[in-house]
Chains A and B, each alone.
Chain A
Amino acid sequence: MVLVLVLALIAAGCTAGRQEQAGGEAGSSEGKVLTLTLDGAKNREAELQVIAQYLKQVGIDAQVRVWEYQTLVAEAQKGTREAYATDWGSATFTPVDLAVPKLETGGRGNYSFYSNPEVDRLFKEAAATTDEAIALEAYKQAQQILYQDAPWIFGYYLDAIEAASAKVKNWQPSMDSRINLHDVELEGGDTLVVGLRADRILSLDPAAYRDRDTETVIRNIYDGLVTRTPDGRVVPEIAESWEQPDPTTYVFKLRRGIKFHNGEDLTADDVVYTFERILADDGLDGQPSPRKGLVEPLQSVEKIDDYTVRMKLANPSAAFLQLLVHTQIVPKDYVEEVGSAGLSQRPVGAGPFRFVEGTLDGQIVLERFDDYYGGSPDLPPVGPAKVKRVIFRMMPEPATRIAALQNGEVHIIQEVPPDLVAQLENDPDVQVKVTQGTRLYMIELNTQKLADPRVRQALNYAINWDELLQELYKGHAHRVATAMLPSGFGYDESLKPYPYDPAKAKQLLQEAGYKVD
């Protein structure tokens, strides 16, 4: 079975190569019909089929091909494909981990091979200033350019839909995926069960993962210097306050009296150690941390006294505090003793819950830490958690999560599919909450193969996204004009997505030399 699956994936890759050779270059000479293959994973197939129909209506010979996603990404990175449905998540609420890696020249996620020196300059300008007004203006100009260059068929983000038993009180989903159980109360029970969408989480060491769902669990066991409110503001947590004596220096004052679950006091030594093991090339049992890039441009952390640390940045960064939200503080003495693997097996943090037992792919049991310092004063209620125990269960199948919720076995579930929302909303024992998702879905265009921006603009005009998304996602998908999210800093609300205009699409294709009738 495993070998069959492996063979199937390889066959997909090999077939792609053969077909590419046979097909040759896409038609690009005067008066030819534009031929285009839309590639995507199974979860985007329905959408791509409809888009292919719209493209045919403006004279494009479009077809759809379904791939295993990782194989598609590998092929796209080789430059063999033309148009491919991809997605990319943002964790920092800034373009720093969305538009920039996707569209900066040579960016890690830049599968479209897009390159514009002016956009690169604007991104660097925005990232290097601490003046929000300057950064905002730079991002707005970048969006204007991206809109015209149209390296993608610009797409949409989905609502993040979560559901909970009616017995759950004071529960508010957060855009950044953390299920904040510190504030939650459970009527008539002391054990709250959360159904996660993941197959497994990657680690319980805050320096050894790079995954949204893993972070959901970790941030209930550990706390960071700062945290984020549900509406996206950065507020103090372990840090009592901070100041910025110059553009590349931050000085954090730590709160006193914070204890780790093993009884040790949290001090500057723990903060320094936490960041140094992420920055080092051998910080995790001799291996580098996959999170090093997430604290960029941090250069060094030094202890000033037991409750003060100074951080030096390689360059000024407006996004730095947002990045800090995602680094949780670990106890230096304990981690030096047990190592990264030991910390993941039996985590010790300073968060509202302490680890009892669990496996990364089954369920994880936490219990309330009664000596908790209270968490961020900006996120009431302040004090120990309300529920006595929390259990995270890995439940990858949406229908199963919903069944378990309705059966009373689970109290909060992640990610309700849009087409099942109505079913849950009719259940008086269930509450459904919708918040803004932070993953962008787009169709990237190979700008080396589709080099004429008029063609790419035409592809945007040709598609009736509003009708398509309403049908597929029942109002839970929202278009964006370029490559930024309204939940993130720098989003230009005045820029509207490409309207559906098949006549203009045809005109642009003709101007680019294609036959459309």
Chain B
Amino acid sequence: MRGGWVLRRVAMALPLAVGIVLVSFILLRVMPGDPVDIMLRGGGTSSEEEARALARQLGLDQPLPVQLARFVADLARGDLGESIRSRQPVGQMLRATLPATVELALAALVFAVAVGVALGVLAATRRGSWLDRAVMAVASLGVSMPAFWFGIVLMLVLAVGTGWLPTSGRIASQYAGTVPWRTGFLLIDTLLAGNGAAFRSAVAHLVLPAVTLGAELAAVVARVTRSSMLEVLGAEFIRTARAKGLHERRVILVHALRNALIPTASVVGLQAGVLLGGNMIVETVFSWPGLGRLVVEAIFARDYPVVQGAVMVYALTFLVMNLLVDLAYTWLDPRIREA
């Protein structure tokens, strides 16, 4: 039953993925701006002939249906093409930047869930108290603060002001060249290299961007968790659990929290995709060389192959995240398995 259900979800996802690829291809080409013109604008002495030669080499002088057919054929062979500007293979560019983005998104997710759930539970169990009001005020602030401003403020306070944390980048400069690239996740690569100091440096560099990226989600999680905890705490089965003489901590953390996390899981699952796709500002502020920064810059340069490849990565990520959310649902609430 579970296997069949999963297969049906995957089957639904495939046409969606195909649609996203086609739509993004068309939208990219409709966007004003000529990548060859943008590329040759930097020096200023090029001739029309040179521009035409470049367009021909890049295949941009072909009719759109021909370009699309070529794109699909290349895709079928796992070839994402080459960046118009830098000539690098797109697959290589994505492999180089995706681990950085995923690492940051996961760290932000861990921070957001840990802090958000803790604050939500705290607020719910002390409903109406000053602590409840303080948590909700902080949550409102978290939702409304722009990541750009928050990131720079954190940087100035915790890095420049106190010197506790580094301002930017993924690892301190002195470790450059000492950690071989294996997975692209520096937390893993530093451990594989057996370099404890480098690992601690990677962790330290991750703190500010992860907090900045995760702050808004933490606020959302706190509010959702608080309201669902309040709802659950008023339910009959909680009263029954208390009547059985269970310790209050166990009542809250085992019985109530597990049920309260169902809507939280939904929010987190949907937002996790946003963490992956919406981190461009944070990556720019903290000089984090991830996928978000890559794709924004590629859009402004009209570097079609890079944008196309990144869009596909994002689309697949969202689909996978939604699938995982549904799986999490079935674990949290067994009744859904019958659906």
CB pair A359–B289 under 8 Å, yes or no, is: yes
A9 to B33, CA, bound (A): 10
For the complex, what is the distance from the CA of A403 to the CA of B87, rounded to whole Å? 33
A363 interfacial by beta-carbon distance below 8 Å: yes
A361 and B97 form a contact (CB under 8 A)? yes
B160 cross-chain contacts in A, Cβ below 8 A: 403, 406-407
Given the known inter-chain contacts A288-B57, A403-B155, please indicate yes or no for A200 contacting B311, CB distance below 8 A: no
**Inter-chain contacts of B294 with A (CB < 8 A):** 199-200, 361
Report whether over half of chain A's contact residues are helix, strand or loop; otherwise say mixed: mixed
Known contacts A1-B274, A5-B299, A393-B287, A212 near B42 by CB under 8 Å:
yes
Distance to closest chain B CB from A410 (angstroms): 8
Is B43 part of the binding interface, using a Cβ–Cβ cutoff of 8 Å?
Answer: yes
Asked if B284 and A5 sit within 8 Å, CB to CB, the answer is no
Which A residues, 203 to 238, have Cβ-Cβ distances below 8 Å to chain B? 203, 208-212
- B314 near A341 with CB under 8 A, answer no
Residues from chain B with a CB closer than 8 A to the CB of A396 are 284, 287, 293
Across the interface, do A73 and B287 meet the contact criterion of CB distance under 8 Å? no
Q: How far is the CA of A6 from the CA of B311 in the complex (A)?
A: 11
Q: How many A-B pairs fall under 8 Å by CB?
A: 216
> Are B168 and A287 neighbours in the complex by a CB distance under 8 Å?
no
A26 at the interface (CB under 8 A from B): no
The digit string for A57-99, where 1 denotes a CB below 8 A from any CB of B, is 0000000000011110111010000000000111100001110
B96 in contact with A3 (CB, 8 Å): no
> Of the 9-residue stretches A128-136, A168-176, A291-299, which lies at the interface with chain B?
A291-299
Task: Give the interface centre of A74, A77, A284, A397 by most chain B CB atoms within 10 Å.
Answer: A397
B76 at the interface (CB under 8 A from A): no
Please name all residues of chain B whose beta carbon is closer than 8 Å to the beta carbon of A10 when the two chains form the complex.
27, 30-32
The minimal Cβ–Cβ distance linking B291 to chain A, given in whole angstroms, is 10
Q: Shortest Cβ distance from A7 into chain B, in angstroms?
A: 7
Interface status of A450 (Cβ within 8 A of chain B): no
| Residue contact A400 to B274, C-beta cutoff 8 Å | no
Asked if residues B168 and A293 are in contact (CB atoms below 8 Å), the reply is no
- B44 to A365, Cβ gap below 8 A? no
Interfacial chain B residues near A287, Cβ < 8 Å: 57-58, 87
Distance, CA A324 to CA B41, complexed state (A)? 19
CB distance from B236 to the nearest CB of A (A): 42
Contacting residues of chain B (275-307) with chain A, CB-CB under 8 angstroms: 277-278, 280, 284-287, 289, 293-297, 299-302, 307
Known: A98-B44, A287-B57, A362-B289. A2 touches B277 (CB 8 A): yes
Are A70 and B167 CB-contacts (below 8 A) given A2-B310, A357-B177, A365-B177?
Answer: no
Interface flag for B156 (CB, 8 Å): yes
CB contacts (< 8 Å) of B176 on chain A: these are: 356-357, 363, 365, 391
For residue A3, which residues in chain B have a CB less than 8 angstroms away from its CB? 20, 23-24, 27, 311
A9 touches B42 (CB 8 A): no
Distance of A128 from chain B, by nearest CB (Å): 14
A394 near B50 (CB under 8 angstroms)? no
Among residues of B, the one whose C-beta sits closest to the C-beta of A202 is B86
- Which residues of B (45-68) have their CB < 8 Å from a CB of A? 45-48, 50-51, 53-54, 57-58
Closest B residue by C-beta to A360: B86
- Contact flag A70-B173 (CB < 8 Å), given A202-B85, A203-B87, A409-B168: no
B146 close to A (CB within 8 Å)? no
A513 neighbours in B (Cβ, 8 Å): none
Interface of B is mostly: helix
| Bound CA–CA A391/B301 (angstroms) | 26
CB-CB under 8 A from B152, the residues of chain A are: 397, 399-400, 403
Chain B residues near A199: list those with CB within 8 A.
Answer: 284, 293-294, 296-297
B145 at the binding interface (Cβ < 8 Å)? no
Indicate whether A109 reaches chain B with its CB closer than 8 angstroms: yes
Minimum CB distance partner of A78 in chain B: B32
Cβ contact within 8 Å between B43 and A71: no
Q: What is the CA–CA distance of A170 and B261 in the complex, to the nearest angstrom?
A: 60
With both chains docked as a complex, state the minimum distance between the C-beta of B292 and any C-beta of chain A, in angstroms. Answer: 8
Of listed B38, B163, B172, B289, residue having the most chain A CB within 10 A: B289
Is the beta-carbon distance between A208 and B289 smaller than 8 angstroms?
A: no
User: What chain A residues lie within 8 Å of B28 (beta carbons)?
Assistant: 6
For the complex, give the distance between the alpha carbons of A365 and B173 in Å: 9
Contact of B284 among A6, A356, A397 (CB under 8 A): A397
With A74-B32, A395-B287 as given contacts, are A344 and B88 in contact (CB-CB < 8 Å)? yes
The answer for the CA separation of A102 and B301 in the assembled complex, in Å, is: 20
Would you call B299 and A407 a contact (CB within 8 A)? no
Which chain A positions have C-beta within 8 A of B296? 5, 199
Residues from 276 to 326 in A contacting B, C-beta threshold 8 Å: 281, 284-288, 290-294, 296
| Of listed B43, B170, B174, B302, residue having the most chain A CB within 10 A | B43
Q: By the criterion CB–CB under 8 Å, are A290 and B302 in contact?
A: no
Q: Which A residues touch B300, using CB under 8 A? A: 68-70
Other-chain contact of A2, B37, B286, B289, B307 (Cβ < 8 Å): B307
Chain A residues whose C-beta falls within 8 Å of the C-beta of B293 in the assembled complex: 199-200, 361, 396
Asked if A291 meets B32 with Cβ closer than 8 Å, knowing A1-B274, A9-B299, A191-B173, the reply is no
CB neighbours (8 Å) of A69 from chain B are 300
Given contacts A293-B45, A363-B176, 6 further A-B contacts (CB under 8 A): A2-B299, A96-B45, A200-B297, A296-B45, A362-B170, A403-B167
26 A-B contacts, Cβ less than 8 Å apart? A2-B277, A2-B299, A10-B31, A13-B31, A70-B38, A74-B32, A96-B45, A98-B44, A108-B40, A199-B297, A208-B86, A210-B42, A211-B42, A281-B53, A290-B39, A294-B46, A357-B177, A361-B96, A365-B177, A391-B176, A394-B289, A397-B284, A400-B152, A406-B160, A407-B159, A409-B169
Chain A residues in contact with chain B, CB under 8 A?
1-3, 5-7, 9-10, 12-13, 68-71, 73-75, 77, 88-91, 96-98, 100-102, 108-109, 191, 193, 199-200, 202-203, 208-212, 281, 284-288, 290-294, 296, 340-341, 344, 356-357, 359-363, 365, 391, 393-397, 399-400, 403-404, 406-407, 409
